[in-house]
Amino acid sequence: MTEQIFFQNNIEQRSNAAAKTFAKHDFIHHHCRNDLIERMKLINLSPKTAIDLGCAIGSSSRFLAKHFKQCRIFSVDLSQSMLIESRKKRSVLARISEIQASTHSLPFFNNSVDLIFTNLLMPWVDNLPLFFAEINRILKKDGLFIFSTLGPDSLQNIKSIWNKIDDYEHVNPFIDMHIIGDLILKSGLGDPVLDTDKLTINYKNIDSFFTDITKTGARNCLRNRNHGLTAKQKLSMFKTTLEKSIINNQLSIELELIYGHAWGNNLNSNPNEFSVDVSQIKKLPV
């Protein structure tokens, strides 16, 4: 899981292109964000500094700013266009700042953040051990890391159809909940709690499914994808096979949702010293 599986520039480009349409097609993000917020309400928190990591257009940032009046919020995303939309949607008086950065090298001091909130970002992270190490590095002792992601049972019907058509990758390699929990513990974060849920989305047709994916910037960015245009014949085969699963004029897409949280342990020994694999750190977008 330490190899680079995505073209990060593709993720950035497609997120930029989807910035203005994201709000109208972010049903899944909205659903998971609300579930995360309900879970967080059960925890007694008074953060002074919080990060909305992978903020997209800043919906979670605005909730955090409203709920924690005295908290300084940092909206962090790889996409400059998403951050511009986020800034447009917030009050000028809100204690929110937008920062463009990569999850592989977060521009925050060690042990400096009380709360890290990340909604459906992890399916786009190349190196989860490094990601969790960065979370652990910047999170204060007893600070909260809370997240949602997708599990391996997500989009199984889509993946199984493509597997019969060619040997390229068309669906992100979603990570099992137990592996995520182990990686969290290995990073030094404490007391992880994870659970799963199922979500079935019914689309009126295949085109509406593809529209949602495109308008939220979630098209294929995998390095092992077909780098040429997918042949019309292959795409036709895919659609024909998928159409067979349409029942009562509805295409059902199933997702495995994973929710979790963990706590900062401040196990980095010296707060002024931290080591990572330099080859894995990517330059922040200009």
* For residue 282, pLDDT beyond 90: no
pLDDT-derived band at 273 (thresholds 50, 70, 90) equals: very low
- For 18-54, letters b (16+ CB in 10 Å) and e give bbeebbebbebbebbbebbbebbeeeebebebbbbbb
Q: Give the pLDDT confidence score for residue 275 in this predicted structure.
A: 42
Q: Kindly provide the b/e burial profile for residues 171-208, where b requires at least 16 CB atoms within 10 angstroms of the residue's own CB.
A: bbebbebeebbebbeebbbbebebeeeebeeebeebee
Largest distance between two CA atoms of the chain: 61
pLDDT band, residue 23 (cuts 50/70/90):
very high
- The token pair that represents 40 in the structure block: 């967080």
140-187: per-residue pLDDT in tens? 999 999 999 999 999 999 999 999 998 888 899 999 999 999 999 999
Q: How high is the pLDDT of residue 2?
A: 52
d(CA 61, CA 112): 18
- pTM for the model stands at 0.89
Task: Confirm if 282 and 103 have CB atoms less than 8 A apart.
Answer: no
Instruction: Supply the pLDDT for residue 234.
Output: 86
pLDDT at 121 over 50: yes
Q: How far apart are CA 31 and CA 215, in angstroms?
A: 17
Q: For the domain 8-154+173-199+257-266+275-280, what is the CATH superfamily, name and number?
A: Vaccinia Virus protein VP39 (3.40.50.150)
183, 283 Cβ separation under 8 angstroms: no
Q: Is residue 236 very low, low, confident or very high in pLDDT (cuts 50, 70, 90)?
A: confident
**Whether pLDDT at 230 is above 80:** no
Confidence of residue 3 (pLDDT cuts 50, 70, 90): low
**In the chain, domain spans:** 8-154+173-199+257-266+275-280
Q: Length of the chain in residues, anyone? A: 286
Question: Burial level of 135, CB count in 10 A (0-12/13-18/19+)?
Answer: buried
Q: What is the reported pLDDT for 270?
A: 39
What number is the average pLDDT over the span 233-240? 88
Instruction: Round to whole Å and give the CA distance between 216 and 35.
Output: 19
What pLDDT was estimated at residue 274?
41
Contact in structure between 3 and 128 (CB atoms under 8 Å): no
Q: Give the phi and the psi of residue 50 in degrees, each rounded to 5.
A: -140, 150
Per-residue pLDDT tens over the stretch 252-269: 999 999 999 999 986 553
Position 65 pLDDT exceeds 50: yes
Pick the residue with more confidence: 63 or 104?
63
What average pLDDT does the segment 31-40 reach?
A: 96
